[in-house]
Structure 1
Amino acid sequence: MLRFLQILGSFVLLQAVASQQIWDIWQTTWNRNMLFTYFQPTPDPINFVTPGAIGSADIVIDDSSVYQTVYGFGASLTDSSAELLSNLKACHNPGSYWQLMDYLFNATDAANSAGFSYIRVPLGASDFSANTYSYDDISGDTSLNDFNINAAPSDVFSVLQDILSINHMARFHIVPWSPPGWMKSGGTMLGGSLNTQYINTMANYLLKSVQAFSNKGIPIYAISIQNEPEYSDSTYPSCNMPVATEAQIGLALRTLLNNDGFSGVKIIGYDHNWADAANYPVQLMQQAESAFDGVSFHCYQGSVSDQASFTSQYPNKEVYFTECSGALGSDWWSDIKWYMDNLFIGSISYGSSSGLMWNLALDGSGQPLLPGTDSCGGGCRGVVQINNDGTWSVNQEFYSMAQASKAILPRDVGGPWGQRIGVSVGGSLDWALVVGAYKTGRVSSSDWNRYSIVVLNWDDSASTTWNPQPVEATIEFRGMQATYTFPVGVTTLWWYAPN
């Protein structure tokens, strides 16, 4: 019997060790030799073996520390993005459209695609619309009898339905850039603030928005009360909304949603810059914690570490990162370094459950913009560029998010999303690698979990003399060690191990 147990124990140990092999790698390099390219190590997988000396960098995975679930990466489907995508489909090349949509949204395990799964949608016009409109522009219509979601371009809904046809796991987060103008101090959607007499009307307007999307077959995962509530601009839809106003709308909306069968729709507050993380979102929780599932952040002021000013006070509230825009004319590799460090590894490391850019698609000039707006002074860049001749290309925002997305997508149909786990970097070149680590569970308890890391190697000496250096790193996991040399770029790799 003892001999049998020894043999059985050896078999279990061998099984666990054998499972710890790296077979799958996705990579984007600084010189573009690899662009979200999949490959397998040759001639053999990378094995986890008995530990030896550490590499120049030593990545230590702590899968006993499990943090938030990550629900995906993506961008906003603005009216402009929807128009360009619809034109590609209808006026140019439907095959090319579907090829692009599959490359963006197919979340099937092992597919050659990014699997973007979190889409933000403006309610009414934004600075990327053909004209200014809301879903009810009839002045004084406090009963919202004239509410009509079809005031939005039909392109928006057809593209959303196409996304769902490719990725049924996609989550949709809706948010207004402004209440209808007649509810506001200046009588216009362009800047100003909400008249507080319309707090309950605005809550009902948001409920009707959720209902209307649902009636079009587009289930809503989350809704925010107001995009960038600390900013008002007279050249595009925007609204300054004090904490007390957003709190009251949130409380009213939570009750309305619960009473109308939408108790599962999350209300996400703030939706503005890192810089004020210690104030507005904290005060919002103090005034209306029961209404809000969490808050979301943008990148335009402050730093990613500011997220901790909120999460340290409300560790059980959810955090989402929902907007940052690329700028025309910026450097491809410099952008990727910044995005990974601050957003698609960085913001996740500070607790975010999503990572989003701004426009999903624009043309090469950052158009179409709302006529007369001063938004995007130097030109905003979409995740995708769609040209007038029907051709398209993906930008650095795509490659950054695609690398991160691959690490957290469900392994199984109907399976769980990736969860962030503990990771640290040591060694003489600990500064050279920025690392995020994730565990993805399985539908069957007998199947091994997937463990993924997303690694930015930014050892390029860009500030002095350009000299990109690969970094030989060791990866420590459950008392075993693997070795891999990371080129300058972003690498996503994974292995499997028992739970």
Structure 2
Amino acid sequence: MIKFIYTNDKEKWKEESSITRTNKKANLIITNKRGRKLDGFGGCFNELGMKALLDLDKENRKIVLDKLFSPDGECKFTLARMPIGASDYAVSWYSLNDIEDDYSMAYFSIQRDKSLLIPYIKEALNRQPNLKISASPWSPPVWLKTHQVYNFGKLKSDAQSQDAYALYFTKFVESYHKEGISIAQVHIQNEVAADQKFPSCVWSGEQLRDFIKEHLGPKFEKDNIKTEIWLGTINSPEFFKEVGQDYDNYANCVLRDEDAYRYVKGVGYQWQGKNAIQRTVQSYPELKYYQTENECGDGNNSWEYAHYVFTLFRHYLTNGANGYLYWNMVLHSGGESSWGWKQNSMISIPIGKNEVIYNPEYYVMRHFSGLILPDAKHIELEGHMSGNAVAFENKEGSIIVNINNSYQEKKLLNIKHNDDVWRVCLEPNSINSIIFL
């Protein structure tokens, strides 16, 4: 049995029956070559996302959360990400300990998180108890930085500050555990190579290496913290622009050091990190890899950008990613951050209205996360259409082939599975899923 589902600017998640055998030459071939297993898909919890959800009444909020996280929902998320302290989509900037020189972390507190972040996470866990949550800070507490501001500087290099920061991670994991929330992974820093206008902290590969092997790794080991340490989130290299931010400067710098490597269970890449994932997977195939933050657009939620997002899914999944995470699942319409940057979201909620808008990137995600399930294996494709397609085999044997047609005209696909070639007409401006059951 074969199913064909497509979405474009005119039709949303439409099942089509016009699939016929053909004797034409195949331009997309499903091979017998199987690759890496998938952990799943997800998105990031942010304060502004929960603020938007709270504009909805209880019934509509339930519908949105069910669609995102329920195993029977449309997106079936099994992964999630959250900030440790403020992200750029926090209501305002903060850390979990703003008391200067509190190296023992006596005043560490997640009290603020209990108003928006923790309720958001618990709504998801109520629907998907096995949700794997990763967490990363955008900035350390400012008193631990070389310049005492959220949006600038580096972590201080002295042992007292580094030990205190390792303790900060431990306190975070333990505090969330007391709330009934298990943190599967911590990533050392959001976008290690970015000095941003919003909370940020720049790290070199050498600084990451030394913090992991001399402070965070031993601290987690001593305190019996089972949360995995991941090298992330790496947002470099930007080809032909930056020197000193390449694969050897970050991932390979850390992973080739045996004392650091033994603590690292995976690598998180986002943005310009797409230029390094293939080399890292090839060199260290035993580790896991996530795309940790879908690129965010400009708040217009256009179909043109949705096609670009499809290429990001394809790029990361074809080059070895075990998981793919969207950035803001839900925002108010316009997607404006507290400091003025407008970004895309899967779902928009007009300010002050009990109304839900499902944007194009919601459907891009649904074509992946709603059909390709945890433990699915990547399938290698061949043929002239393979550059716009990606395929997986689910654990129970179904095969999902996702294909992008960004052109404003129909495209004919002749797809070969086993000994048969099937003819499919791809609608203009469409995201497509062909399912072999």
TM-score norm. by structure 1 comes to 0.79
Pair 32,213 (structure 1): closer, same or farther in 2 beyond 3 Å: farther
Q: Among the aligned pairs, what percent are the same residue?
A: 21
- Answering whether residue 269 of structure 2 is matched by residue 297 of structure 1, we say yes
- Answering whether residue 50 of structure 2 is matched by residue 82 of structure 1, we say yes
CA distance in 2: counterparts of 1:82 and 1:325, whole angstroms: 20
Q: Return the offset for 1:325.
A: 3.6
Alpha carbons 1:407, 1:453 under 8 Å: kept: no
1:41 matched to which residue of 2? 17
Indicate the SS of the match to 1:149: coil
Q: Return the offset for 1:436.
A: 0.9
Q: Return the offset for 1:382.
A: 2.1
Indicate the SS of the match to 2:431: strand
Q: Deviations over 1:199-229 (max 9, x none)?
A: 1211111121111222211221211011111
Alignment counterpart, residue 369 of structure 2, candidates 405, 413, 425: 405
Alpha carbons 2:52, 2:330 under 8 Å: kept: yes
Between 96-105 and 307-316, the greater mean CA deviation after superposition: 307-316
Pair 418,339 (structure 1): closer, same or farther in 2 beyond 3 Å: same
- Answering whether residue 10 of structure 2 is matched by residue 32 of structure 1, we say yes
Alignment counterpart, residue 94 of structure 2, candidates 88, 110, 133: 133
Please list, as runs of the form range in 1=range in 2, the aligned pairs for 1:464-479 lying within 5 A after superposition.
467-477=408-418, 479=419
Q: Return the offset for 1:340.
A: 1.0
Q: Deviations over 1:438-491 (max 9, x none)?
A: 11214xxxxxx2221111123x2xxxxxx41231312233x3443333323111
The residue type equivalent to 1:440 in the other structure is: N
1:454 matched to which residue of 2? 402
The residue type equivalent to 1:349 in the other structure is: T
Alignment counterpart, residue 265 of structure 1, candidates 228, 231, 239: 228
Alpha carbons 2:166, 2:216 under 8 Å: kept: yes
The residue type equivalent to 1:437 in the other structure is: A
2:395 matched to which residue of 1? 441
Indicate the SS of the match to 1:345: helix
Indicate the SS of the match to 1:152: helix
- Answering whether residue 75 of structure 2 is matched by residue 104 of structure 1, we say no
Pair 402,28 (structure 1): closer, same or farther in 2 beyond 3 Å: same
Q: Deviations over 1:249-290 (max 9, x none)?
A: 222323333444433534233432353452312212123222
1:394 matched to which residue of 2? 358
Q: Deviations over 1:357-383 (max 9, x none)?
A: 32222212323x33xx36x3xx21222
Flag as ranges the 4+ runs of structure 1 deviating above 4 A: none
Please list, as runs of the form range in 1=range in 2, the aligned pairs for 1:206-245 lying within 5 A after superposition.
206-233=169-196, 235-245=197-207
The residue type equivalent to 1:424 in the other structure is: E
CA distance in 2: counterparts of 1:79 and 1:114, whole angstroms: 21
Pair 118,277 (structure 1): closer, same or farther in 2 beyond 3 Å: farther
CA distance in 2: counterparts of 1:36 and 1:404, whole angstroms: 12
Pair 305,129 (structure 1): closer, same or farther in 2 beyond 3 Å: closer
Kindly tell me the number of residue pairs found equivalent between the two proteins.
423
CA distance in 2: counterparts of 1:222 and 1:419, whole angstroms: 22
The residue type equivalent to 2:305 in the other structure is: D
The residue type equivalent to 1:494 in the other structure is: I
- Answering whether residue 18 of structure 2 is matched by residue 54 of structure 1, we say no
The residue type equivalent to 1:333 in the other structure is: W
1:422 matched to which residue of 2? 380
2:134 matched to which residue of 1? 173
Q: Return the offset for 1:305.
A: 4.8
The residue type equivalent to 1:469 in the other structure is: K
Between 483-492 and 184-193, the greater mean CA deviation after superposition: 483-492
Q: Return the offset for 1:153.
A: 4.7
- Answering whether residue 75 of structure 2 is matched by residue 114 of structure 1, we say yes
Alignment counterpart, residue 253 of structure 2, candidates 261, 271, 283: 283
1:95 matched to which residue of 2? 59
CA distance in 1: counterparts of 2:402 and 2:106, whole angstroms: 50
Alpha carbons 2:46, 2:82 under 8 Å: kept: yes
Alpha carbons 1:272, 1:298 under 8 Å: kept: yes
Cα RMSD after superposing both structures: 2.4
Indicate the SS of the match to 1:453: strand
Q: Return the offset for 1:403.
A: 0.8
Q: Which runs of 5+ in 2 are unaligned?
A: 239-244
Q: Return the offset for 1:156.
A: 0.7
- Structure 1 or 2, whichever has the larger Rg, is 1
The residue type equivalent to 2:427 in the other structure is: P
Alpha carbons 1:127, 1:236 under 8 Å: kept: yes
Pair 240,263 (structure 1): closer, same or farther in 2 beyond 3 Å: same
Alpha carbons 1:199, 1:248 under 8 Å: kept: no
CA distance in 2: counterparts of 1:253 and 1:131, whole angstroms: 27
Q: Which runs of 5+ in 1 are unaligned?
A: 1-20, 411-416, 443-448, 461-466
TM-score norm. by structure 2 comes to 0.89
Alpha carbons 1:107, 1:115 under 8 Å: kept: yes
Indicate the SS of the match to 2:322: strand
Q: Return the offset for 1:157.
A: 0.6
- Answering whether residue 299 of structure 2 is matched by residue 358 of structure 1, we say no
Alpha carbons 2:349, 2:355 under 8 Å: kept: yes
